[in-house]
Chains A and B, each alone.
Chain A
Amino acid sequence: MKVWSRIGSWFRAMLWRSRMESDMDAELRFHLEAFAEDLVQNGVSREEALRRARIEFGGIERVKEEGREARGTRIIETLLQDLRYGARVFRKSPGFTAVAVLTLALGIGANTAIFSLVDGILLRPLPFRAPQNLVSITGTFPRGGFVAMREQMQSLDVSAYFEGHEFNLTGRGDPLRLTGALVSAEFFSVLGARPELGRSFYPGDDIAGRDNYVVLSHSLWHERFGGDPSILGRSIELEGVSREVIGVMPAEFVFPSAKTQIWLPLHNDPRDTVAYWAGDFMPVIGRLRPGTTIPQARAEIRMFQSRVPKLFPWPMPADWNADISVVELRTGMVGDMRSRLYLLFGAVGVILLIACVNVANLALSRAATREKEIAVRTAMGAERGRVIRQLLTESVLLALLGALLGIFLATEGLQLLKAVLPADTPRLADAHIDWRVLSFTGGLAVLTGLLFGLAPALYASRAALAQSLNAATRGAGVSVSHRLRSALAIAEVALAVLLVIAAGLLIRSFVALSHVDPGFQAERVLTARVTPNQEFCSDPSRCVSFYRELLGRFQAVPGVHSAAVVNTLPLGGRVAKRSLEIENEAVAPGEAMPLFWMDVVTPDYLRVMKIPVVAGRGFTSADDSENARVALVTAATARRFWPGRSPVGTHVRLSGDTGWRTVVGVVSDVRAYDLEKNAPDWINGTIYFPYASNATLEGGRIPSDMTVVIQSSLEPSQLQNVLRRTIAGLSPEVPASEVKLMRAVVSESVSTPASTTVLFVAFAALALVLGIVGIYGVLSYLVSRRTREIGIRLALGAQRRDVLWLVMKEGAKFSLFGISLGLLSALGVTRLLASELFGVSPFDPVTFLAAAVLMASVTLLACYVPTRRAMRVDPMLALRHP
Chain B
Amino acid sequence: MDKQLDLLQGTLDMLILKAVSLGPLHGYGILLRIQQISKDRLEIQQGSLYPALYRLEHQGWIASEWGESENKRKAKYYTLTAAGKGRLQAETDNWNSMADVIRGILGTKPEEV
Contact of A5 with B by CB under 8 A: yes
Residues A27 and B69 in contact, CB atoms below 8 Å apart: no
- Nearest CB of chain A from residue B110's CB, rounded to whole Å: 46
Stretch at the interface among A28-36, A123-131, A170-178: A28-36
Instruction: Give A57 to B50 CA distance when docked, in angstroms.
Output: 10
Contact of B57 with A by CB under 8 A: yes
Residues B47 and A59 in contact, CB atoms below 8 Å apart: yes
Residues A58 and B59 in contact, CB atoms below 8 Å apart: no
Contact of A62 with B by CB under 8 A: yes
- Say whether, besides A1-B83, A30-B74, A34-B69, A58 and B46 are in contact (CB < 8 Å): yes
Q: Tell me the chain B residues, 50-77 only, with Cβ under 8 Å from chain A.
A: 50-52, 54-55, 57-60, 69, 71, 73-76
Instruction: Give A37 to B70 CA distance when docked, in angstroms.
Output: 12
Residues B47 and A34 in contact, CB atoms below 8 Å apart: no
* Nearest A residue to B71, CB-CB: A37
Residues on B with beta carbons closer than 8 Å to the beta carbon of A2: 59-60, 83
Contact of A70 with B by CB under 8 A: yes
Contact of A67 with B by CB under 8 A: yes
With most chain B CB atoms within 10 A of its CB, the pick from A28, A33, A63, A69 is A63
* Nearest B residue to A68, CB-CB: B54
Contact of B18 with A by CB under 8 A: no
Residues on B with beta carbons closer than 8 Å to the beta carbon of A10: 58
With most chain B CB atoms within 10 A of its CB, the pick from A27, A67, A71 is A27
- Say whether, besides A37-B71, A56-B46, A69 and B51 are in contact (CB < 8 Å): yes
Q: List 18 A-B contacts (CB under 8 A).
A: A1-B60, A2-B83, A9-B58, A26-B74, A27-B50, A28-B50, A30-B27, A30-B74, A31-B26, A31-B27, A31-B46, A33-B73, A34-B73, A35-B28, A57-B47, A63-B47, A66-B51, A70-B58
- Say whether, besides A37-B71, A58-B46, A67-B51, A30 and B76 are in contact (CB < 8 Å): yes
Residues A23 and B45 in contact, CB atoms below 8 Å apart: no
Contact of A422 with B by CB under 8 A: no
Q: Tell me the chain A residues, 1-40 only, with Cβ under 8 Å from chain B.
A: 1-2, 5-6, 9-10, 23-24, 26-28, 30-31, 33-35, 37
Q: Tell me the chain A residues, 388-415 only, with Cβ under 8 Å from chain B.
A: none
Chain A contact patch, size range: 20 to 34
List 5 A-B pairs, minimum CB-CB distance, nearest first. A5-B60, A58-B47, A66-B51, A70-B55, A70-B54
Residues on B with beta carbons closer than 8 Å to the beta carbon of A27: 26-27, 50, 75-76
With most chain A CB atoms within 10 A of its CB, the pick from B51, B59, B74 is B51
Residues on A with beta carbons closer than 8 Å to the beta carbon of B46: 31, 35, 56-58
Residues A6 and B60 in contact, CB atoms below 8 Å apart: yes
Q: Tell me the chain A residues, 38-66 only, with Cβ under 8 Å from chain B.
A: 56-59, 62-63, 66
* Nearest A residue to B76, CB-CB: A27
Residues on B with beta carbons closer than 8 Å to the beta carbon of A349: none
- Say whether, besides A58-B47, A63-B47, A31 and B28 are in contact (CB < 8 Å): yes
Residues A6 and B59 in contact, CB atoms below 8 Å apart: yes
Instruction: Give A66 to B75 CA distance when docked, in angstroms.
Output: 21
Q: Tell me the chain A residues, 50-94 only, with Cβ under 8 Å from chain B.
A: 56-59, 62-63, 66-67, 69-72
* Nearest A residue to B56, CB-CB: A70
- Chain B binding surface, main DSSP class: helix
Residues A70 and B75 in contact, CB atoms below 8 Å apart: no
Residues B51 and A30 in contact, CB atoms below 8 Å apart: no
- Say whether, besides A30-B69, A67-B50, A72 and B58 are in contact (CB < 8 Å): yes
- Nearest CB of chain B from residue A37's CB, rounded to whole Å: 7
Chain B contact patch, size range: 20 to 34
* Nearest A residue to B75, CB-CB: A30
- Give the A-B contact count at a CB cut-off of 8 A: 74
With most chain A CB atoms within 10 A of its CB, the pick from B57, B76, B83 is B76
- Chain A binding surface, main DSSP class: helix
- Say whether, besides A27-B27, A57-B47, A9 and B60 are in contact (CB < 8 Å): yes
Binding site for A on B (CB under 8 A): 26-28, 45-47, 50-52, 54-55, 57-60, 69, 71, 73-76, 83
Residues B26 and A30 in contact, CB atoms below 8 Å apart: yes
- Say whether, besides A30-B75, A58-B45, A70 and B51 are in contact (CB < 8 Å): yes
- Nearest CB of chain A from residue B25's CB, rounded to whole Å: 12
Instruction: Give A576 to B83 CA distance when docked, in angstroms.
Output: 77
Binding site for B on A (CB under 8 A): 1-2, 5-6, 9-10, 23-24, 26-28, 30-31, 33-35, 37, 56-59, 62-63, 66-67, 69-72
- Nearest CB of chain A from residue B69's CB, rounded to whole Å: 7
With most chain A CB atoms within 10 A of its CB, the pick from B47, B54, B60, B71 is B54
* Nearest B residue to A53, CB-CB: B46
Residues on B with beta carbons closer than 8 Å to the beta carbon of A37: 71
Residues on A with beta carbons closer than 8 Å to the beta carbon of B26: 27, 30-31, 34
- Nearest CB of chain B from residue A507's CB, rounded to whole Å: 62
Residues on B with beta carbons closer than 8 Å to the beta carbon of A57: 46-47
Instruction: Give A97 to B99 CA distance when docked, in angstroms.
Output: 62
- Nearest CB of chain A from residue B19's CB, rounded to whole Å: 15
- Nearest CB of chain A from residue B105's CB, rounded to whole Å: 33
Instruction: Give A30 to B25 CA distance when docked, in angstroms.
Output: 13
Residues on A with beta carbons closer than 8 Å to the beta carbon of B76: 23, 26-27, 30
Instruction: Give A712 to B57 CA distance when docked, in angstroms.
Output: 89
- Nearest CB of chain A from residue B18's CB, rounded to whole Å: 20
Instruction: Give A23 to B83 CA distance when docked, in angstroms.
Output: 24
Residues B83 and A63 in contact, CB atoms below 8 Å apart: no
The residue that B51 contacts in the complex, of A33, A56, A63, with Cβ under 8 A, is: A63
Instruction: Give A67 to B73 CA distance when docked, in angstroms.
Output: 23
Q: Given A5-B83, A26-B74, A35-B46, 15 other A-B contacts at CB below 8 A? A: A2-B60, A6-B58, A9-B60, A27-B27, A30-B27, A31-B28, A31-B50, A34-B69, A34-B73, A34-B75, A35-B28, A37-B71, A63-B50, A67-B50, A69-B51
Instruction: Give A71 to B26 CA distance when docked, in angstroms.
Output: 18
Residues on A with beta carbons closer than 8 Å to the beta carbon of B59: 2, 5-6
Instruction: Give A783 to B53 CA distance when docked, in angstroms.
Output: 59
With most chain A CB atoms within 10 A of its CB, the pick from B27, B52, B57, B58 is B58
Instruction: Give A57 to B57 CA distance when docked, in angstroms.
Output: 21
- Say whether, besides A5-B60, A34-B28, A59-B47, A71 and B71 are in contact (CB < 8 Å): no
- Nearest CB of chain B from residue A859's CB, rounded to whole Å: 54
Instruction: Give A4 to B54 CA distance when docked, in angstroms.
Output: 16
- Nearest CB of chain B from residue A16's CB, rounded to whole Å: 14
Instruction: Give A69 to B1 CA distance when docked, in angstroms.
Output: 15
* Nearest B residue to A65, CB-CB: B51
Residues on A with beta carbons closer than 8 Å to the beta carbon of B28: 30-31, 34-35
Instruction: Give A26 to B71 CA distance when docked, in angstroms.
Output: 16
Residues on B with beta carbons closer than 8 Å to the beta carbon of A35: 28, 46
Instruction: Give A33 to B75 CA distance when docked, in angstroms.
Output: 11
Instruction: Give A50 to B52 CA distance when docked, in angstroms.
Output: 23
Instruction: Give A413 to B27 CA distance when docked, in angstroms.
Output: 60
Instruction: Give A790 to B47 CA distance when docked, in angstroms.
Output: 61
Instruction: Give A744 to B15 CA distance when docked, in angstroms.
Output: 87
- Nearest CB of chain B from residue A432's CB, rounded to whole Å: 42
Residues on A with beta carbons closer than 8 Å to the beta carbon of B75: 27, 30, 34
Instruction: Give A448 to B73 CA distance when docked, in angstroms.
Output: 53
Residues on B with beta carbons closer than 8 Å to the beta carbon of A24: 50
Residues on B with beta carbons closer than 8 Å to the beta carbon of A63: 47, 50-51
- Say whether, besides A30-B26, A37-B71, A71 and B47 are in contact (CB < 8 Å): no
Instruction: Give A58 to B50 CA distance when docked, in angstroms.
Output: 12
